[in-house]
Structure 1
Amino acid sequence: MEGDPVEVETSEKLEKLQELRNLGIEPYNGRFEKTHTVLDICNHEATLIQSEARVRTAGRLMAIRRHGKALFADLQDHTGRIQIYVKRDVLGDDRFQVFRVIDVGDLLGVEGKVFRTHAGELTVLVEDFVFLGKCLRPLPEKWHGLRDVEVRYRKRYLDLIMNPEVRSIFLLRSRLIREIRAFLDERGFVEVETPMMQVIPGGALARPFKTFHNALGMELYLRIAPELFLKRLVVGGFEKVYEINRNFRNEGISVRHNPEFTMLELYEAYGNYETMMRLCEELLSSVILRILGTYTITYQSMAIDFTPPWRRLLLPEAIREKTGIDILEDSLEIIRKKADELGMPWEVHWDRGKFVNELLERFVQPELIHPTFVLDYPVEISPLAKAKKDNPRLAERFELFIGQEEIGNAYSELNDPFEQRRRFEEQARKRQRGDLEAHFIDEDYLEALEYGMPPTGGLGIGIDRLVMLLADVPSIREVILFPLLRPARD
């Protein structure tokens, strides 16, 4: 038969599907009770072999080696691979005939005893089996492999089948979130859920996605952050509250940014940004130690040590040291001139805050390898943070950098409703001038503050970027199961 090899094999698999039915085999059985995973068999090998106990396990066939009246195959489940051994004189002629039409990719449940072959391979001797699912397309490894990044992200299910190291990333991600929850729950934090669709998007400087609610006849926004709702809960008496949440920001896509991402956001009443620094340091260092058994990791060839205490760096001093720019005292005209001298491109509409962010990212951030708290950001780019008493132009705010990446953001929450209104109005003027990332005025939140919010510390940590660090992968798409992609082109 001539033609595309994938199409040829698909056609052959369809023929084998019919052969299975001719043999009286239902190719899509709905139930098989497992007694052991592959990992269970490996972990209890000695006991299983000595007792000659029968095991029941199931998975996908990843390789088949036929030898006349017998065959060996590799069976893969979510915990690993194990060899199975199928003999005609064990199953009988009729049952063994089924294996003539079994292919790589098919799903099988097997029952039998565990032994080691002469070559030392841990193996299950198949004494009975159930066919559980026919794979109608050839697995990609056979023809072209599965290394194309676009295909891997678009067909993540194939990526997970073919690349065990990818599965390990998402198991790590799950473990990380589980350990974070355990840490916070043990310390009296309460996990909550807040709205993903909001009338007014708030809690961050970001461009939102818009949607429309037909029944209510109103425009809504996907949340850019849960902050303002979580702080309403603090007003209501939830003194320690957190959410592991999905946020949506209508911004560019890069190796560090995905428009849909996951964050941990928490608030503690009667705390401040110093409280949050201590909590953040304890949370991440202890969780990483529990997961990896060490404080030291390697990320993109950088050795990173999470051993506390972590470095603290004042933002104005760090920028002045690296660039000669005083972000508080220099005029906008002087900052522009010095940026030109540094070879940093800028745009005419940039305000002081935009320059601060760019200077930090270009000249300071590349040297922040080990966990570093960068403190004291200008108030104008921190509209929800409390100002420092000794310098009201700076906010009680820090960002956490690890491995040259921003991982977290925290501050002493602004709880003065009059000052918060002034900040919101300032943001509204920026929006009128065309800044689509400026904050909206949220009257309901301002009313909540008028009932009194205790002094509060708030902290946000990017889960996706944290997983990138621990898994040592360079792109955020590697740690998101289904990253947003453009439609596939034919």
Structure 2
Amino acid sequence: MVRSIHGTCIIEYKPKGGPTETINFTPPFRRLKIFPELEKRLKVKLPHPRTLDTPEAVEMLDKICVDNQVDCPTPRTAPRLLDKLIGHFLEKECINPTFLIEHPQVMSPLAKYHRSDEGLTERFELFVRKMEICNAYTELNDPIEQQKRFSQQAKDRGAGDEEAQMVDADFIMALKYGLPPTGGCGMGIDRIAMLLTNSDSIKEVLLGPGPILVKEFWTVSFVANRRFNLSLKCFLYHWSLIFVSLITFTSYVYKPFANWFEKS
């Protein structure tokens, strides 16, 4: 997509009033394993991922944040402390496309446990220019393990962490009926459109005029129209994928519809 729009994988992004930043989209993208990379930069041995929900681990992470002047508002839970450390030491390096991979379980309540490294998950995030572009993971389909994760999240929420998940009994019941091996990926298409159209604000690439007056909207420059067209294409592509997914799901659930779908 970058090459088709710009003719090259190397683009320049220049926010208004800011310096020009060169972003290289040439594959393969860099990959950073979160725990080993944090330990390199901190020059300390972090608690084992499977012990991160213990008071000792939280105390150690808290001390590391204090020693490195990494601010973390209360409640200072393990997921929040780790998130601040990742943002301070790793995300700021992600100018060119970079995958952050293998997040701890305490940060990923819905992601499946890593099949070879205990305490980690099969998850990755893609960052470009220090912005999160996508978040993806293998879905956890074990109802017993999911119940444990929700219970830990409930403790964090009770401590004041409003971002922690609540126990979802209906979701647990659905998992008990069965969920096949599944993966999910959420992508910020508007953020990609910002980078590819050299836009300063996400409002410039949202579908529709947004805060711009209707009268002014029809007199915008060619560049602004180009941004709108790219945003429209991304929007239609996104919803076409959702429509196809719904049709596929429905075809498996409702046999009469499936028969029609196969004939058409």
Compute the TM-score of the two structures, normalised by the length of structure 1: 0.38
SS of match in other structure, 1:395: coil
In structure 2, what is the Cα distance between the partners aligned to 1:316 and 1:378? Answer: 8
Instruction: Find out whether 1:353 has 2:61 as its counterpart.
Output: no
In structure 2, what is the Cα distance between the partners aligned to 1:419 and 1:333? Answer: 25
Partner of 2:174: 448
TM-superposed deviation, 1:345: 2.4
In structure 2, what is the Cα distance between the partners aligned to 1:382 and 1:302? Answer: 32
Structure 1 stretches of 4+ with a deviation exceeding 6 A read none
In structure 1, what is the Cα distance between the partners aligned to 2:168 and 2:185? Answer: 21
Partner of 2:191: 465
TM-superposed deviation, 1:398: 0.7
In structure 1, what is the Cα distance between the partners aligned to 2:68 and 2:147? Answer: 37
Partner of 1:379: 105
Q: Is the 8 A contact 1:316 1:328 kept in 2?
A: no
Partner of 1:434: 160
Instruction: Find out whether 1:289 has 2:3 as its counterpart.
Output: yes
Partner of 1:322: 41
Q: Deviations over 1:201-256 (max 9, x none)?
A: xxxxxxxxxxxxxxxxxxxxxxxxxxxxxxxxxxxxxxxxxxxxxxxxxxxxxxxx
Q: Is the 8 A contact 2:72 2:80 kept in 1?
A: no
Give the 3 Å change call, closer, same or farther, for CA 447–338 of structure 1 in structure 2.
Answer: closer
Q: Is the 8 A contact 2:111 2:137 kept in 1?
A: yes
TM-superposed deviation, 1:327: 4.1
Q: Where does 1:323-342 land on structure 2 (aligned, <5 Å)?
A: 323-329=42-48, 331-342=57-68
Q: Where does 1:92-171 land on structure 2 (aligned, <5 Å)?
A: none
SS of match in other structure, 1:304: strand
Q: Which amino acid in 2 is paired with 1:469?
A: L
SS of match in other structure, 2:103: strand
In structure 2, what is the Cα distance between the partners aligned to 1:444 and 1:348? Answer: 30
Q: Deviations over 1:394-419 (max 9, x none)?
A: 11111101112111111111011111
Partner of 2:219: none
Partner of 2:94: 368
TM-superposed deviation, 1:299: 1.9
Q: Structure 2: give runs of 5+ residues left out of the alignment.
A: 15-19, 49-55, 212-264
- Number of paired residues? 197
In structure 2, what is the Cα distance between the partners aligned to 1:477 and 1:306? Answer: 24
Q: Deviations over 1:47-103 (max 9, x none)?
A: xxxxxxxxxxxxxxxxxxxxxxxxxxxxxxxxxxxxxxxxxxxxxxxxxxxxxxxxx
Give the 3 Å change call, closer, same or farther, for CA 326–358 of structure 1 in structure 2.
Answer: farther
In structure 2, what is the Cα distance between the partners aligned to 1:378 and 1:320? Answer: 14
Give the 3 Å change call, closer, same or farther, for CA 397–428 of structure 1 in structure 2.
Answer: same
Q: Where does 1:385-396 land on structure 2 (aligned, <5 Å)?
A: 385-396=111-122
Q: Which amino acid in 2 is paired with 1:482?
A: G
Percentage identity across aligned positions? 41
In structure 2, what is the Cα distance between the partners aligned to 1:419 and 1:388? Answer: 13
In structure 1, what is the Cα distance between the partners aligned to 2:143 and 2:188? Answer: 28
Partner of 1:225: none
In structure 2, what is the Cα distance between the partners aligned to 1:413 and 1:372? Answer: 22
Q: Which amino acid in 1 is paired with 2:4?
A: R
Q: Is the 8 A contact 1:316 1:326 kept in 2?
A: no
Give the 3 Å change call, closer, same or farther, for CA 399–325 of structure 1 in structure 2.
Answer: farther
Q: Which has the larger radius of gyration?
A: 1
SS of match in other structure, 1:394: coil
Q: Structure 1: give runs of 5+ residues left out of the alignment.
A: 1-286, 484-490
Q: Is the 8 A contact 1:431 1:439 kept in 2?
A: yes
Q: By percentage of residues, which structure has more strand?
A: 1
SS of match in other structure, 1:408: strand
Residues 442-451 or 398-407, more deviating? 442-451
Partner of 1:312: 31
Q: Is the 8 A contact 2:122 2:137 kept in 1?
A: yes
